[in-house]
Amino acid sequence: MIRREFTRRLVGGITSVALPWTYRMQATLRVDGSRLQAHLAALSEFGKNPGGGVSRVAYTEADRQARDAVTGWMREARLETAVDAAGNLIGRRAGREPSRKPLLIGSHIDSVPQGGNFDGDVGSVGAIEVARTLDAAGVTLRHPLEVVIFQNEEGGTTGSRAMAAGLTPAELERVAQSGMSIRDGIRFLGGDPDRLDSARRAPGDIAGYLELHIEQGGVLDDTTTPIGVVLGIVGIRHWDITITGFANHAGTTPMDRRKDALLTAARCIEAANRIVRSVPGRQVGTVGKLAVEPGAYNVIPGLVTFGLELRDLDDAKILRLYQRILAECRRIAALNGTALTSTETLAIAPALTDPGIRGVIAGAAQELGLRTIRLPSGAGHDAQEMARLGPVGMIFVPSVGGISHSPREYSRPGDIENGANVLLRTLLRLDATL
Amino acid sequence: MIRREFTRRLVGGITSVALPWTYRMQATLRVDGSRLQAHLAALSEFGKNPGGGVSRVAYTEADRQARDAVTGWMREARLETAVDAAGNLIGRRAGREPSRKPLLIGSHIDSVPQGGNFDGDVGSVGAIEVARTLDAAGVTLRHPLEVVIFQNEEGGTTGSRAMAAGLTPAELERVAQSGMSIRDGIRFLGGDPDRLDSARRAPGDIAGYLELHIEQGGVLDDTTTPIGVVLGIVGIRHWDITITGFANHAGTTPMDRRKDALLTAARCIEAANRIVRSVPGRQVGTVGKLAVEPGAYNVIPGLVTFGLELRDLDDAKILRLYQRILAECRRIAALNGTALTSTETLAIAPALTDPGIRGVIAGAAQELGLRTIRLPSGAGHDAQEMARLGPVGMIFVPSVGGISHSPREYSRPGDIENGANVLLRTLLRLDATL
């Protein structure tokens, strides 16, 4: 059965390539699912919360200790480990053709506060397991291989941005979730914030980047699909929308004389939800934060600021939706005698994965008898930064119930093992055909 | 013209009383408007904010220093000053008939944070001015007179409650806005929290209580009416309404799979406003505070708690409105896949003013050529506590623009002087007829 599949043409962008004999021999390789689980379990001890899950926030002692453990596993896979100036942990393996640019695989091990044990962890231990499997089988790739654990993904993909785009002086001074500045955090992890240029890579410096990750949404779980081929990482825009009314005594101000900023905000939140849902597609829109001033039972709210987030693979669609929401909110604000201002606080462009690599992933999964669907990633990932440097691919495995950034985040061992095997085969095929 | 008026029958509950000669002589008495303004200006220096208004929060140095100044003005009016065990500042004046219960007049001088210069201040300096006018004219009332500056009105009518109802041990330990406990605050003002019983009075212990106050709403200003005859102080109920949804990743959770607690809350806020406005009357309903958890752009809100306040002169109407709001919010919560709980956190019963005193106030205003309207007080006042002890009356003067609890709070000097003269005449007529 395997033999038959090897003779099939590859799906997608990389087709009609005669696969070398070495790849066919390597096609029987499989990762060790029990070792994968053992590493995930070991990782879950660092920053473990009593109620479940972890708070392994970047630049904390738990983060640093986990990186030490991961460094040990990299060495067991006979990777040559180093921390780059940006604080990324890198395990290297030489290739047969030293002039080639490296293939990178990896993810992150930092978590959000009160996070789970799969976001980032699966792709990190999966990448190390792939390297170890290659080592155990005595396989040397044509390309150099780098297993990268990017630092502070959850706090803004700091490590991958430092590698692919650089960090501004202002970003270095920003205080991260840990309470430490990014600059101090980089030093804390063994990097050197004064030598960031040495960690920087240029477009074309990598042959490709592959990342295995949990979906964090419910599409694969709902459709019982074991492997997701990621179309790209959605663009994200954030706005702070401020409603100015007039704070007045809630007992003495008649209902028809109020300029209630919270009432306006409530109507805007309802409108934003309605507008985002009014067009077909997978776009999402969220109001996740809101602050009321002065914020007392007995004072009509005079000032409300809420955060609006829109995400989609198409940035133009994000902007069209935003303009509709803004126009409707302005109309509502005026009706309520309140004023509205909006400030964009974040704009991350969508990052598409490489169409050729999508095909390779789908082909690899098919060879393993695993169904796939194509879907966008609603969450941000280090892969979106790596896309500045070369072609990237992302492999999703199911999140049970679509739950993520929560102690209740869970992915089944069998799904994780499948994902790591798809990562392994995709890497082998890319190495053979790129 | 004055003579003619004296022979008129009084309006309201106290009628057909032959007014004694002394009252007719006293009818020419007027307060000193410039002295009133000078005292208001002097008071505005204590706790003055750079941007205007005051933060003269109870149990702060600004509060204590202002009380010292007020004590001085009481002494200039030849009142015998004392601080009762509850920390209320009292200036006493003997009556001609010592067996009579005292008539009380007064208000408060503590402010909300970022408050104005009229709420409480007008009634406090107005009451002292009335006492000084009586003293200057050599008028001795039949009843003993007490000018009372109640402590911590803004923080929950602490001083008047201590006098009329007593304070529970738990209330004494509660930390007030100043950061001091109520117990320590009472001591800070010269009271004795271990002897509160000595400050307590029983129903029937007072002949009556009169309070002059700014309206804090816009009814008098809108209708250019100089004097408001207060029908009563509205009842107030507060509830904390908690919506439990499910906090999930805002990028990866499709719009139709969300349990967004803030979206439910937004719809409930809209519904509460609609329901409060759907029935005739002067009831008010406000959502003035709201907290979102976890409160990030990129996390669907899992938990929202908001504070609902309803006020009306009729407690049964408050409860009917609440039941309608609760039922509608439960329906909305269920539609959104969220759960709702509601907890009552405050219930203050309405306190009606004495119908006879309402008539005396209206008559006094008419004698001065001042139009009146009758209206409820949407704000709480010390008068609502005094109503437990005897008949009370309240006189409102216009708040320009209906603004209160704000540095922009303003009442015109002429209106304040009118209010103090109505207070003086009402006091004289009550003293003559009770």
pLDDT of A14 strictly over 80: no
Q: What is the pLDDT of residue B406?
A: 87
Average pLDDT of the residues in A362-372 = 97
Q: Based on the domain organization, do B296 and B354 belong to the same domain?
A: no
pLDDT at A260: 98
**B contacts of A342 (beta carbons < 8 Å):** none
Q: Are residues A13 and A89 both part of a single domain?
A: yes
B421's tokens: 């003269």
Residues B360 and B313 in one domain: no
In this complex, is the C-beta atom of A400 within 8 Å of any C-beta atom belonging to chain B? no
Shared domain for B92 and B184, answered yes or no, is yes
The parent domain of residue A86 ranges over: 2-234+350-433
**Chain B residues inside the 8 Å CB shell of A379:** 249, 251-252
> Does B372 share its domain with B335?
no
pLDDT at B304: 98
pLDDT, residue B106, reads 98
- Under the banding of pLDDT at 50, 70 and 90, the label for residue A405 is confident
* Domain termination site, one of B348, B365, B400: B348
Question: Looking at the 3D structure of chain A, how many domains does it have?
Answer: 2
Put simply, whether B292 touches A (Cβ < 8 Å) is yes
Domain shared by A241 and A138, yes or no: no
CA dihedral B416, B421, B422, B425 (to 10 degrees): 170
Contacts of A53 in chain B (CB under 8 A): none
- CB-based contact, B298 to chain A, within 8 Å: yes
pLDDT score of A406: 87
Which CATH number is A260's domain given? 3.30.70.360
Q: Is the peptide bond before B294 cis (omega within 30 degrees of 0)?
A: yes
Please tell me which residue of chain A has the smallest CA distance to B253: A217
In angstroms, how far is the first alpha carbon of chain B from the final one? 25
Nearest partner of B219 among A7, A197, A329, A252, judged by Cα:
A252
Q: Is A290 on the interface with B (CB under 8 A)?
A: yes
User: What's the burial of A203, exposed, middle or buried (CB within 10 Å: 0-12/13-18/19+)?
Assistant: exposed
Q: B212 and B320 share a domain? A: no
Q: Which of B283, B313, B348 is the last residue of a domain?
A: B348
A25 — pLDDT class (breaks 50, 70, 90): low
Q: What is the pLDDT of residue B21?
A: 61
Surface of A (316-355) touching B: CB under 8 A: 346
Helix, strand and coil in chain A, % to nearest 5:
40, 25, 40
Q: Distance (Å, rounded) from C-alpha A146 to C-alpha A149?
A: 10
Q: What pLDDT shows up at residue B1? A: 31
Q: Which DSSP category does B343 fall into?
A: E
Residues A417/A31, Cβ–Cβ less than 8 Å: yes
Residue at which a domain ends, from A317, A348, A379: A348
Which of A287, A300, A379 is opposite residue B251, by nearest beta carbon? Answer: A379
- Are the beta carbons of A251 and B284 separated by less than 8 Å? yes
Residues of A in contact with B347 (CB under 8 A): none
User: Whole-number mean pLDDT of chain A?
Assistant: 93
Strands (E) located in B140-234? 145-150, 208-214, 227-233
Paired strand residues for B12 = none
Q: What is the pLDDT of residues A117-128, one digit of tens each?
A: 999 999 999 999
Per-residue pLDDT of chain B (434 residues), as tens digits, is: 333 333 333 333 444 455 666 666 677 899 999 999 999 999 999 999 998 999 999 999 999 999 999 999 999 999 999 999 999 999 999 999 989 999 999 999 999 988 999 999 999 999 999 999 999 999 999 999 999 999 999 999 999 999 999 999 999 999 999 999 999 999 999 999 999 999 999 999 999 999 999 999 999 999 999 999 999 999 999 999 999 999 988 998 999 999 999 999 999 999 999 999 999 999 999 999 999 999 999 999 999 999 999 999 999 999 999 999 999 999 999 999 999 999 999 999 999 999 999 999 999 999 999 999 999 999 999 999 999 999 999 999 999 999 888 899 999 999 999 999 999 999 999 999 98
Do A153 and A47 lie in a common domain?
yes
Residue A171 parent element (H or E): helix A169-173
pLDDT in the model for residue B434: 86
Which of A83-97, A213-227, B4-18, B334-348 shows the lowest mean pLDDT across its residues? B4-18
Q: Summarize the confidence of residues A4-23 as an average pLDDT.
A: 45
- Co-location of B187 and B67 in the same domain: yes
Give me the pLDDT at residue B6, please.
32
In B310-403, which residue ranges form alpha helices assigned H by DSSP?
A: 315-335, 355-367, 382-386
Q: Within an 8 Å CB–CB cutoff, is residue A252 touching chain B?
A: yes
Residue A297 to residue B277, Cβ atoms within 8 A: no
**For B250, which of A260, A288, A295 is closest by C-beta distance?**
A288
Residue A198: give its domain's CATH number: 3.40.630.10
SS3 content of chain B, % helix, strand, coil (to 5): 40, 20, 40
Q: How confident is the model at residue A7 (pLDDT cuts 50, 70, 90)?
A: very low
CB contact under 8 A, B238 and A402: no
Residue of B269, B286, B400 for testing the chain A interface, max A β-carbons within 10 Å: B286
Q: Has residue A323 got a pLDDT over 50?
A: yes
pLDDT given for residue B18 in this prediction? 55
Q: Which residues of B touch A376 (CB under 8 A)?
A: none
Q: What is the mean pLDDT of residues A41-68?
A: 97
Put simply, whether B259 touches A (Cβ < 8 Å) is no
**pLDDT of the residue at B98:** 85
The answer to whether the Cβ–Cβ distance between A402 and B257 falls below 8 Å is yes
Task: Count the neighbouring beta carbons within 10 Å of the beta carbon of residue B14.
Answer: 21
- Helix B261-276 to helix A261-276 angle (10° resolution) is 130
Same structural domain, B128 and B198 = yes
Q: Are B354 and B313 within one domain? A: no
Q: Residue A62: is its pLDDT beyond 80?
A: yes
Q: Is B252 on the interface with A (CB under 8 A)?
A: yes
**Closest Cα in chain B, distance from residue A407 (Å):** 11
Measured at the CA of B235, the angle between CA B229 and CA B239, to 5 degrees, comes to 150
The answer to whether the CB atoms of B298 and A285 lie below 8 A apart is no
Are B362 and B427 contained in the same domain? yes
A414: pLDDT strictly greater than 90: yes
